[in-house]
Homo-oligomer: A and B are copies of this chain.
Amino acid sequence: MEILIVPYVRDSIEVDLSEKVVIVLDIFRATSFIVTALALGARRVIPVSTIPEARRLAGKGRILAGERSAEKIEGFDLSNSPSALRYFPLEKKELILTTTNGTKAIAKAKSAEYQLIGSFLNLSACARSAVQLERPIVILCSGTQGAFSLEDGVAAGAFIDTCLQMKPTFQMDDLGMMARESYQSWRRQGWNELKNSRGGRRIIELGLEDDLDYSLQIDRFPITPIVTKEGIVLMETH
């Protein structure tokens, strides 16, 4: 059974996602945010592609979250800073989330049989959920504005490494081999170089370095978010 990486999201995804498990990654932003929100008690996160769509769904006690160019949208309650989310009351809340890259990747992967939300924060739990579904796995890196992002690629390598430990018969492709090797190498050396990625430098410029340290923690939350028609919710574990 195959485990593949899509290195970034452009206009369309060329890989056929039907009958597959897709794990969406947007490490420094959307997917670390979603994992944190659900781990801290939010009932669901509704991902939307546009700001007007987010505003239309507001009200009923919902929290509006999102960014454009990594900055909070006017009138919204939150940006998509995962570390800032920790200090916000979330218990049983619903969040509406729109971001530049992550929520678009989620929308483009809707043909997948199962769509899971991955990050370093829930690496082992999400990998285990994916492996237990017994389908080929596609790891979808959101990337940044149609280009490859280092942190998403290295996290994809972490997911490949973890899935292969759980099920050694998975077959990875050449990009997966490179991503896995770079993950193993950086795990030995520490994550500092990841902060020099294009996305990392942008976040440091905005004074949000806490987000980077926060998002690079492995296995902080033993949960798996799954995308459903009603939004993103906690997957029931077996």
Please give the residue numbers on chain A whose beta carbons come within 8 Å of chain B beta carbons, in ascending order: 7, 147-150, 153-154, 173-175, 177-179, 181-182, 184-186, 193, 196-199
Known: A153-B178, A178-B178. 8 other contacts (CB 8 A): A148-B175, A153-B175, A174-B197, A174-B198, A177-B196, A181-B181, A181-B193, A182-B185
8 contacts between A and B (CB under 8 A): A150-B175, A153-B175, A154-B178, A177-B197, A178-B179, A181-B193, A182-B182, A184-B185
Q: Is the interface of A mostly helix, strand, loop or mixed?
A: helix
CB neighbours of A193 from chain B (8 A): 177, 181
Query: Which residue of B has the minimal Cβ distance to A181?
Result: B182
Query: Which residue of B has the minimal Cβ distance to A189?
Result: B181
CB neighbours of A154 from chain B (8 A): 178
Q: Do B179 and A150 have beta carbons less than 8 Å apart?
A: no
Interface centre among A181, A198, A199 (most CB of B within 10 A): A181
Q: Do A149 and B174 have beta carbons less than 8 Å apart?
A: yes
Query: Which residue of B has the minimal Cβ distance to A144?
Result: B174
Separation of A18 and B221 alpha carbons in the complex (Å): 48
From residue A103, how far is it (CB to closest CB) to chain B in Å? 21
Separation of A197 and B175 alpha carbons in the complex (Å): 9
A174 in complex: contacting residue of B148, B181, B185, CB < 8 Å: B148
Separation of A7 and B198 alpha carbons in the complex (Å): 18
Separation of A238 and B199 alpha carbons in the complex (Å): 39
Interface centre among A148, A174, A196, A197 (most CB of B within 10 A): A174
From residue A204, how far is it (CB to closest CB) to chain B in Å? 15
Separation of A153 and B175 alpha carbons in the complex (Å): 8
CB neighbours of A148 from chain B (8 A): 173-175
